[in-house]
């Protein structure tokens, strides 16, 4: 046995000796030693989900969310059918077979990138998200089903460095976001959390959770700005379906300031903003001119403002996981801080019934200055956690629109005739009780189920109320499938339901 083993070992040694000899003569065929693998390392500086980008000292987190939402008797916003959207009337408020679908839906997919690097000046952070949205609108009935709009959007794209924040941000006017506790649209404030706003800011940290910020932010309607909706009443500017705005061009951003205290128990803060609500040119002009010309003259510049207190309390009444919060906004000539609504609202009821309202941040006539509109809003919510999987919130809000006596007189001049001064004659005339003030209110409740972490399944039930001060009669022209005739102008109500399923991953 030993003889056989010795023979095998000698044979093997001979084979290796033979195979190694040529290799020594051809160094190029030797295996190249692989470089050390640079494994991805977890970054613990900024919380869960961050990792070091190989070869750098930058940490990155990739997040995402996907959702499907459907609404009954509500817009895609979602909100009460008929309330002004982007300066025009929402035609779903007609409630006819061809103007309104009882169900609407909204699908979204969003991905985010959060990149952070430590520097001698503190953390350098850049953040961006981008999403895709497909939705069917409340005016989807009677149209080609393949026309459901698909859009690409982004709500954040900003840089933070040494106290500065610049890009597409959440407004520094906003502090409390009711959307955390409801699926319904935020019409009783105008928090920019869902869409973002273009701006630049600097924040001072005083210690102990106390901070102050100053920023300049988009004051136009584009890209989710705060809005410019001044109306020239010298021509028929108010319609049931749309408004004719006459505004001065955007010359600068809105200045915004805030002061807040953040603690483990929640936060309390106050913010303020100024807003340019100046009009364009007089039309028709002085001396008989009818065209929109520089020589017609223009009203003086008019600056509005808004102020807002807000608070949020965690674990109120000693109930762990619960939260209660509220925010109020009072504005004059800066309606876009109190609500995203602007333009005409027309909510039709059964038969010849309709609720009307117009929201303009300012109105003027030829030869007059701009009369700024007072708009206030309030919203609050309370959420209770029954257990780690179930929670229920109760919420409410209100927005009010008030014109001063001069603005009312200009709007209502000759209202009870066939040719009202401010109203498009084909739209509305012979108004028995002209009072453009109105308000909207809501009360709702949402229950959310989290069967597993990061998966939300919930239902939201909400009641909306439109209170119109017109409260009389008016002759309306044909509006879509709604026939012309003498309509009774009265308050309108709506009860809606919203369902959502959403998966969040490090977002």
Write out pLDDT tens, residues 35-80.
655 678 999 999 999 999 998 999 999 999 999 999 999 988 889 9
Q: What pLDDT is attached to residue 13?
A: 42
Q: What is the pLDDT of residue 38?
A: 62
pLDDT at 419: 86
Q: First-to-last CA distance in the chain?
A: 71
Q: What are the pLDDT digits (tens) for 226-239?
A: 988 999 998 888 98
pLDDT computed for residue 223 by the predictor: 62
Contacts of 262 (CB under 8 A, 6+ apart): 209, 211
Query: Backbone phi, then psi, for 192, in 5-degree steps?
Result: -90, 10
Return the beta strands (E) in 120-180 as ranges. Answer: 122-136, 150-153, 157-161, 164-169
3-state secondary structure of 94: helix
Per DSSP, the three-state class of 192 is coil
Q: Which residues of the chain have pLDDT under 50?
A: 1-27, 143-146, 285-289
- Residue (of 490, 462, 472) closest to 349 by Cα position: 490
Residue 137 near residue 76, CB atoms below 8 Å: yes
Instruction: Give 146: exposed, middle or buried? Use CB within 10 Å, 0-12, 13-18, 19+.
Output: exposed
């Amino acid at each position: 046995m030993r003889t056989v083993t010795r023979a095998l070992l000698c044979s093997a040694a001979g084979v290796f000796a033979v195979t190694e000899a040529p290799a020594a003569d051809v160094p190029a065929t030797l295996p190249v030693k692989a470089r050390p693998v640079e494994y991805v390392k977890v970054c613990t500086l900024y919380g869960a989900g961050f990792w070091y980008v190989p070869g750098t000292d930058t940490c990155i987190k990739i997040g995402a969310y996907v959702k499907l939402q459907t609404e009954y008797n509500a817009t895609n916003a979602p909100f009460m059918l008929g309330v002004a959207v982007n300066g025009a009337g929402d035609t779903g408020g007609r409630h006819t077979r061809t103007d309104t679908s009882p169900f609407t839906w909204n699908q979204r997919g969003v991905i985010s990138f959060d990149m952070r690097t430590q520097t001698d000046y503190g953390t350098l952070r850049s953040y961006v998200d981008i999403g895709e949205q497909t939705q069917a609108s409340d005016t989807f009935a009677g149209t080609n089903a393949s026309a459901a709009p698909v859009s690409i959007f982004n709500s954040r794209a900003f840089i933070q460095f040494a106290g500065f924040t610049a890009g597409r941000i959440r407004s520094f006017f906003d502090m409390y976001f009711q959307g955390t506790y409801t699926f319904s649209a935020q019409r009783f404030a105008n928090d920019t959390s869902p869409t973002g706003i273009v701006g630049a800011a600097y924040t001072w940290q005083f210690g102990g959770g106390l901070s102050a910020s100053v920023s300049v932010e988009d004051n136009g309607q584009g890209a989710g700005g705060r809005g410019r909706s001044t109306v020239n009443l010298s021509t028929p500017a108010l319609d049931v379906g749309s408004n004719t705005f006459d505004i001065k061009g955007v010359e600068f951003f809105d200045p915004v300031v805030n002061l807040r205290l953040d603690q483990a128990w929640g936060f309390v803060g106050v913010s303020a903003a100024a807003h340019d609500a100046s009009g364009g040119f007089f039309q028709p002009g002085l001396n008989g001119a009818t065209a929109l010309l520089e020589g017609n003259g223009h009203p003086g510049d008019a600056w509005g403002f808004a102020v807002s207190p807000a608070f949020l309390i965690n674990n109120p009444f000693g109930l762990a996981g619960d939260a209660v919060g509220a925010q109020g906004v009072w504005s004059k000539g800066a309606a876009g801080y109190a609500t995203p609504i602007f333009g005409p609202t027309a909510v039709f009821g059964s038969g010849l019934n309709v609720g009307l309202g117009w929201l303009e941040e300012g109105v003027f006539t030829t030869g007059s200055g701009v009369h700024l509109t007072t708009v206030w809003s309030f919203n609050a919510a309370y959420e209770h956690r029954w257990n780690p999987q179930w929670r229920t919130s109760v919420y409410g809000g209100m927005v009010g629109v008030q014109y001063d006596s001069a603005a009312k007189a200009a709007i209502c001049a000759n209202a009870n005739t066939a040719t009202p001064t401010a109203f498009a004659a084909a739209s509305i005339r012979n108004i028995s009780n002209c009072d453009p003030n109105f308000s909207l209110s809501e009360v709702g409740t949402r229950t959310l189920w989290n069967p597993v972490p990061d998966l939300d399944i919930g239902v939201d039930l909400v009641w909306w109320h439109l209170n119109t001060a017109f409260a009389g009669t008016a002759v309306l022209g044909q509006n879509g499938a709604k026939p012309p005739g003498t309509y009774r102008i009265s308050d309108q109500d709506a009860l809606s339901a919203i369902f959502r399923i959403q998966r969040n991953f490090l977002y």
